[in-house]
Amino acid sequence: MSFIITEGVVCPLFTRRKDRREWIVLDDEGLQLLAFQDEDAANNPKRDPNYTVPLANAFFCIEPEIPRAFSILSHRKYTYQAETNNAMMAWLNCLQVGKRSIFKCK
């Protein structure tokens, strides 16, 4: 299972590619998502993420054809699916709040 953890919000999430579950972490400082194989890998400072998703110039949209899914359009399209509608909305809220805060600092 994968999660986003920011400001006390924890939300399950998995990728649409082959319905593979990953552990996703929002990096507030670098404004990017970090994708890890599992929670242990995410908590190990020596492990690099499987991939990163830059969020500074990204757009977020809900996928109407896929239940509880949203996409991040950055340098390519990343589609994620949450386990509940509330989890999806929490993800989108965290992403928007994180994006707004980085622009206020610059």
Where residue 85 sits, what CATH number does that domain have?
2.30.29.30
Query: Over 70: is that where the pLDDT of 102 sits?
Result: no
Residues 6+ apart with CB under 8 A from 79: 15, 16, 17, 63, 66, 69, 70, 71
The pLDDT score that the predictor gives to residue 14 is 60
Q: What percent of the chain has pLDDT over 90?
A: 26
> In which band, very low, low, confident or very high, does the pLDDT at 40 lie, cut at 50, 70 and 90?
confident
User: Cβ distance 12 to 87 under 8 Å?
Assistant: yes
Distance of alpha carbon 61 from alpha carbon 73, whole angstroms: 8
Domain count, the chain: 1
Domain carrying residue 13 = 2-105
